[in-house]
Amino acid sequence: MTGARLAAEEFLSDLGDNQPPASPEHWDDILLVVTELAANAVQYAPGPFALRMRRTFDGVHVTLRDTNPTPPAPRSFNPRTGGGGIGWHLIHALCDQVSVVPDERGKDVHVFLPW
């Protein structure tokens, strides 16, 4: 999980050298989404995961590949009891687009965020 965040920070730093984000929050949103996707992969997938990031004409496309073919599903969240459940909701709130492409070996979660 830490490796994914560090890789995302390096990608964004290189990207920001050439084209800074339109808003400083975009940087933080991308790092938060990468962290949430990686945490979900560690918690719910039985094997390693892979992170890919690329610049698009209007933002950043993040793909996280894991070994669990089951698509993520929102869980109820209760701030009084804790226990998670907010990550998938947060990803949907911060991203312009979210899609999941499962296959027999796992799934790709694609998210698009503004830059």
Write the pLDDT tens digit of every residue in 60-84.
999 999 999 999 988 877 777 766 7
> What pLDDT is recorded for position 74?
82
Please list, in sequence order, all residues whose beta carbon lies within 8 angstroms of the beta carbon of residue 88, skipping any fewer than 6 positions away. Answer: 36, 40, 72, 73, 74, 75
Say if pTM beats, i.e. exceeds, 0.85. Answer: yes
User: What mean pLDDT, rounded, does the chain reach?
Assistant: 93
